Amino acid sequence: MATYQELSEAIQKGNAPKSKELTSALLAEKKPAGEILNKGLLDGMDKVGQRFKCNEIYIPEVLIAARAMNQSMEILKPELVKAGVKPIGKMLLGTVKGDLHDIGKNLVKMMAQGAGIEVIDLGIDVSGDKFVQGFKDNPDAKTVGMSALLTTTMTGMKEVIGKFEAEGMRGKVKIMVGGAPLTDQYAKEIGADGYAPDAASAAEKFKAFLRA
């Protein structure tokens, strides 16, 4: 008999074939899809996030774990839909205008998905107008994440926040910023609601925003 613990461990080890096998086995044993998600896949990614934050593991291990989770999610998704299990919330994410760096942004996306959040990925080189349009297209997104890796592009974050204000939408979303040149102090200066130094902390903060 397969267990949630085994599935969580397979995710932590980034063992995609094993995690897919265990996901299928748990479904065959008629375990509820929501439990497989929460006690197996998300539990595993949560532990990966904690270990990444403490520098016990590094980016490659996180990417491998996320790949295992994504592959298991493909098996689980139809059952989650059938069972009516919904993500805990929706968020928009993008790398700001003029900036093509997306490795950190993609890690944030994986961690957020691993925390049960639906992520609308706007990609790289995202202008303020595109962020605002993204929110108009997804008015149920309660939070927005912006990533920047260049000192020359991080200044664009303030403009994006200004666009949300100008459109009268600032009060409807929590905005979080991150990326190597960013600091908590800078986030406060530009009027963001939060800053996270790494992808695991970002996912925790997004979760807290969505639950508030």
Binding residues for ligand B1M, rule: CB under 6 A, are 59, 98-105, 107-108, 145-147, 149-152, 176-181, 196, 198-199, 202
Residue 92: closest CA among 12, 162, 172: 172
Nearer to ligand B1M, 43 or 102 (CB): 102
The residue (of 85 and 96) whose beta carbon lies closer to ligand B1M is 96
What gap in Å lies between CA 14 and CA 88, rounded to an integer? 24
In 29-102, which residue ranges form alpha helices assigned H by DSSP?
Answer: 33-35, 43-53, 59-83
Strand, helix or coil for residue 130: helix
State whether residue 150 is helix, strand or coil.
coil
Judged by beta carbon, residue 64 or residue 83, the one nearer ligand B1M is 64
CA distances 30 to 17, 145, 150, Å, are: 20, 37, 49
Smallest gap from residue 212 Cβ to ligand B1M (A): 17
Comparing CB distances to ligand B1M, the nearer of 18 and 53 is 53
How far apart are CB 193 and ligand B1M at their closest, in Å? 11
- Considering the complex, state which of residue 32 and residue 98 has its C-beta at the smaller distance from ligand B1M: 98
Helical pair 43-53 and 199-211, crossing angle rounded to 10 deg: 130
What's the distance, CA 39 to chain centroid?
Answer: 18
What is the closest distance, in whole angstroms, from the C-beta atom of residue 146 to ligand B1M in the complex?
6
Sheet of 194-195, strands arranged across? 117-126, 89-96, 141-147, 174-178, 194-195
Q: How far is the CB of 105 from ligand B1M (least distance, A)?
A: 5
State how far the Cα of 109 lies from the Cα of 160, in Å rounded to an integer. 20
| Burial (CB count within 10 angstroms: exposed 0-12, middle 13-18, buried 19+), residue 17 | exposed
Which one, 23 or 106, has the nearer CB to ligand B1M? Answer: 106
Beta carbon of residue 70, minimum distance to ligand B1M (angstroms, whole number):
18
* Rounded least distance, CB 100 to ligand B1M, Å: 4
